[in-house]
Amino acid sequence: MTDFSNIGVTGRRGHDGVVETLHRLLAFLQSQRRSVILDEDTAAMLGSPGIRCTPVAELAQHCELVIVVGGDGSLLHVAKHVGDTPVIGVNRGRLGFLTDVLPDELEQRIGEVLAGKYLSEERFLLEVEALRGGGRKTVGRALNDAVLHPGRFSQMISFELFINGQFVHSQESDGLIVATPTGSTAYALSAGGPIMHPQLDALVLAPMHPHSLSSRPLVVDGNSELRIVVAARQELEPQLSCDGQVCHTARAGDEIVVRKHSSCLKLIHPVDYTSYQACRSKLGWGSRLAKSDD
């Protein structure tokens, strides 16, 4: 069991109640005699409360646990910086697939974690590279998805898809979503993709408004290498986003390579967490049927 003596705390503006919850969390952690480190933006948001702070990219270097207060986007923002340091989220967003501690249960749930009562799991990330004119560079990482899209233009883009070097198809569409199981309940779901259990070793490729009735989401092995080739005569400059943040603007003939990253995100959950319960809660799935009286 990990001794969570040093705890990193981060929160993001834009969600109601974030500041209030951060103050509650800091007070609770200090009552438990834990050393707290804030990222610089959180410290500024709280008015520099006299607690040690560091850039968010360095936060995980100083602690054994990171607590994120906000929505799923807040956790996605932190995910690429934490390395092997476990993360748990307090939900101040809308859905909260990743930030699953309710604010009203903060002291109870975080107290259980500090006492060693929690579930831990790993979620893999994506690494995205761009190839142009013989050059190759890493442009981003993603926990949810990498998305090729037209950017500010509402026009279809053309591209070819290769999986492990094998040609799959050419396509005209509004773009392509490459999602992890974690991201299958995010943007890919709105594009008609399947919901995948988070422990599956798989990727889903969901086309966005394809110009073909036979084009459907495709699920492939998680260790596949995907290569997307932008059409040579593409007049637009499609953009590539990782977890909603634009990381690269493509040109005609560019190649985008997407594969599993070498590291994983370590998520911590309350002891009664299940991914199915999360779907019931966040997606409005039906609960168990009432039993009829004998």
Q: Which of 39, 72, 100, 145 is catalytic?
A: 72
Residue 222 burial (C-beta neighbours within 10 Å; 0-12, 13-18, 19+): middle
Whether residue 72 lies in the annotated active site:
yes
Residue 235 burial (C-beta neighbours within 10 Å; 0-12, 13-18, 19+): exposed
Cα distances (Å, whole numbers) of residue 208 to 56, 160, 215, 289: 33, 14, 10, 36
Strand order in the sheet with 245-249: 218-221, 202-208, 175-179, 145-149, 239-242, 245-249
The Cα 279–Cα 135 span in angstroms is 42
The Cα 197–Cα 205 span in angstroms is 15
| Host H or E run for residue 230 | strand 226-230
Which of the residues are catalytic? 72
